[in-house]
Amino acid sequence: RTHASIQIQKIWRGYDQKIQYGFVLLDIIRVQSVFRRFLDVRRANARLNGIVKIQSVTRIWTAMRTVARCQNAIVTIQSSMRKSLAVKHATRQRKELVEMDSDVEVDSN
């Protein structure tokens, strides 16, 4: 009788240990899964932040290039306008000088 109860306890303890091992194994797998998910989310966020940074730098570069082109166009327009005004001014002065010379010639005759 004692031998039978020892056998039953031995079998029960072995079965109980297998069940406990299974629960511990499931807990380990759960912890690994949660941690791997955490790492994946962190990697995905880092990747997304990198993409956003690349887009931002690209947009800034494009905007700066557009501004530079606009500034060059403004300088060209200003230069043309100043040249046109200078030519008009020089023509007007030449005309006035010619008129003054002709007035002087008429007066001297």
CA separation for the pair 74, 80 (Å, rounded): 10
Under the banding of pLDDT at 50, 70 and 90, the label for residue 107 is low
Any domain includes 91: no
Any domain includes 94: no
CA dihedral 97, 100, 101, 106 (to 10 degrees): 160
The predicted model scores a pTM of 0.56
Chain position carrying tokens 């406990």: 20
Any domain includes 21: yes
Range of the structural domain that residue 26 is part of: 1-79
Any domain includes 47: yes
Any domain includes 61: yes
Any domain includes 101: no
Look at the chain and report how many structural domains it folds into. 1
Secondary-structure percent of the chain, ordered helix, strand, coil, rounded to 5: 100, 0, 0
Q: For 20-77, how does the pLDDT look when each residue is reduced to its tens digit (9 = 90+)? A: 999 999 999 999 999 999 999 999 999 999 999 999 999 999 999 999 999 999 999 9
CA separation for the pair 48, 95 (Å, rounded): 70
Any domain includes 48: yes
Any domain includes 104: no
